Amino acid sequence: MRKTMVDVPTEDGIADAYLVVPEGDGPFPGVLFYMDAFGLRPRIYEMAERIAERGYAVLAPNLLYRGGRAPIADLKGLADPEERGRIFGRIMPLIQALDTAAITRDTRAYLDFLAAQDGVSAGPDAVVGYCMGGTNGLKAITAYPERIVALGSFHGARLATEEPDSPHLRIGEIKGEVYFAHADQDPSMPQEQIDRLEAALDAADVPFRSEIYPGAAHGFTMADTAAFSAEAEKRHWEKLFELLDHALPTPAR
C-alpha cells in the first residue's frame, strides 16, 4: 500500500491528512475516514489501512486542522480518566467550532482531493466516522448525496438532538445507504436520540440499519482508550465491510 501524510487545501486553510492507496493500477473507490475527537494518531492510521486492504483508497483528514496540525493535544495517558479530561479541555472548543457550514466546505475539499489522486476513482465515495466523525459523516452525506453513497457511523454523538441544526433534520437528502452503531451506555447518544434518528430515516425511506451494541461504551472501537471493546470492534468491522461491499464494491468484489 502507498501510505503517506498529505496536505489538503481547503477554503479555510490546509488540512493535514493520512492517505492510503492500495497497490495496483486501480481505480480504487474512495473512502473518507472521519476521525474521533482525539485526532490523527497510530490507531487511526491502522484502521485506515485495514479499510485500504479491502481495495479502497482512504483519506483520513485532521478534521480539527484549524487548531493546528496533528496531534493537536498531547495524547499521553489517553486511557487515564484525569488525562482524558485534560485532553478534552484542549480540543472541545475546536470540536464546537466545527459547525455544519465548516464541515460542508471541508468535505468538498476532501472529496476533490481524493478524486484527484493517482489510482483513485472519480467517485462516488463512502464516509466512515467515529464519535464526532460519525456526526460529521452524517452531515457530509446529507450535503453531498450525489457524491457519497454510503455512511458507516460508529458511536456517533448527538446525531438527533432538538437543536435547529441537528444532523438528522437533513436525512431526507440522503440517496445512499447508511449504518449506525450505538453504544448502549452512551450519554452523547441516548435512546431518545436513537429513536428520533430511526424515525427520521424511516420517514425519508432511506436504506439503513441502526443497531445497539450491548455492553459497549462510547468509543468502543478505539483500542488506545479505556472504552475499547474487542467484541464490539470485531462486530464493527464486519458491519462496515458488509456496508461497503454492498454500497460501494471494489472492482474485485
Q: Which residues belong to the active site?
A: 131, 186, 218
C-alpha span between 90 and 106 (Å, rounded):
22
SS (H, E, C) 65-124: HHHCCCCCCCCCCCCCHHHHHHHHHHHHHHHHHCCHHHHHHHHHHHHHHHHCCCCEEEEE
Nearest to 155 by CA among 135, 132, 131, 176: 131
CA distance 69 to 73: 10
Gap between the Cα atoms of 205 and 161, Å rounded: 20
Please count the CA atoms within 13 angstroms of the CA of 25 that sit on its side-chain side: 0
